[in-house]
Amino acid sequence: MSTSQISSSNARLRTVALLSALSASIAITGCQTMGAQEKGTATGAGIGAIAGAILSSSTGGKAGTGAVVGGVAGAVIGNIWSKKMEDQKRAMEQATQNTGVQVSQTPDNELKLNIPSDISFDSGKADIKPELRKVLDAFAQGMTQQPNTLVRVIGHTDSSGSDAINDPLSLSRANAVRNYLSDRGVTSNRVETLGRGSHEPVAANTSAAGRAQNRRVEIFMREPAPAQKS
């Protein structure tokens, strides 16, 4: 490698280091002054800016351009936990009291409902039980008031039976939830459905209690962070 090439390479490395330190400083300062619902967006933008700068420098491009592109990409990553999301969480906690449904906020700012089998579906069936209908009615009402939210429904089974039975059954249960929400005003293109069969157990399938925990439906609701213009 020639002396000029070594000098150019060293210059790019110094630029990357400087941009990384600057982006980290901005991210830290911003997080100290913003609310919790804004942190996910800012963090994504900061990470995107650093990644963009490093990518541009490592390929010989203009570091400034790479930082802008990376920042825009990072800004659209993540979800926000708005007041409406908090209100929906509280409403679902009230609607699911004494039902066994677990309501929580995930680390990536999704509202999660973990619905056990005893109130969701009978064994081998994809027909929604009356107990689950009450929960979904409250959930649908919240979604119609928050048009920016998206939902992912994941069906799970225990290990009884074969994958040829469990995989489509778990998807049918997720689709049943989507169809129920659609009948109550939630457009189907806002709801993603997945069937995981018995592939993601949360307990051992060696006992009846463990199998009951694995037979579940998980509903995730999120409010995507808006893209931020540079």
Shared domain check, 107 and 19:
no
Tell me whether residue 27 is in a domain. yes
Asked whether residue 227 is assigned to any structural domain, the reply reads: no
Residues 25 and 104 in one domain: no
CATH number for position 131: 3.30.1330.60
Are 49 and 89 members of one domain?
no
> Phi-psi region for residue 104, left (φ > 0), alpha (ψ -120 to 50) or beta?
beta
| Residue 112 pLDDT greater than 60, yes or no | yes
CA–CA distances in Å: residue 144 to residues 164, 187, 207: 36, 9, 40
Q: pLDDT band for 224, please (50, 70, 90 cuts).
A: very high
pLDDT in tens, 15-56: 445 444 544 444 444 444 444 444 444 444 444 444 444 444
Parallel/antiparallel/unpaired status of strands 150-155 and 191-195: parallel
In this structure, the answer to whether residues 195 and 88 fall within a common structural domain is yes
Tell me the per-residue pLDDT of 5-16, one tens digit each, with 9 for 90 and over: 545 555 555 544
> Could you tell me how many residues make up the chain?
230
**Do both 123 and 164 map to the same domain?**
yes
Domain's final residue, options 75, 103, 123: 75
Residue 124 pLDDT grade (very low, low, confident, very high; cuts 50, 70, 90): confident
Tally the C-alpha atoms within 13 A of residue 115's C-alpha that lie toward its C-beta: 29
Model confidence pLDDT, tens digit, residues 69-81 = 444 434 345 999 9
How do residues 153-176 score in pLDDT, each as one tens digit?
A: 999 999 998 999 999 999 999 999
Structural domain including 38 reads: 3-75
Residue type, 85: M
214 close to 204: Cβ distance less than 8 angstroms: no
Average confidence score pLDDT of the chain:
77
- Could you tell me if 67 and 94 lie in one domain? no
Does 229 reside within a domain? no
Task: Give the pLDDT score at 59.
Answer: 42
Domain count, the chain: 2
Q: From 43, 75, 107, give the residue that closes a domain.
A: 75
* 230 in any annotated domain: no
Residue 53 lies in a domain: yes
Which of the 8 DSSP states describes residue 226? P
113: left (phi over 0), alpha (psi -120 to 50) or beta: beta
Instruction: Give yes or no: residues 160 and 215 share one domain.
Output: yes
User: Last residue of a domain, which of 51, 75, 99?
Assistant: 75
Same domain, 68 and 153: no
On whether both 133 and 196 belong to a single domain, the answer is yes
Contacts of 58 (CB under 8 A, 6+ apart): 12, 16
CA 51, chain centre distance (Å): 22
Q: Give the dihedral sign, CA 105/108/111/112.
A: negative
**25 occurs within a structural domain:** yes
Question: What pLDDT is attached to residue 177?
Answer: 96
**pLDDT tens-digit series, residues 89-108:** 999 999 999 999 999 999 99
d(CA 14, CA 16): 5
Query: In this structure, are 61 and 101 located in the same domain?
Result: no
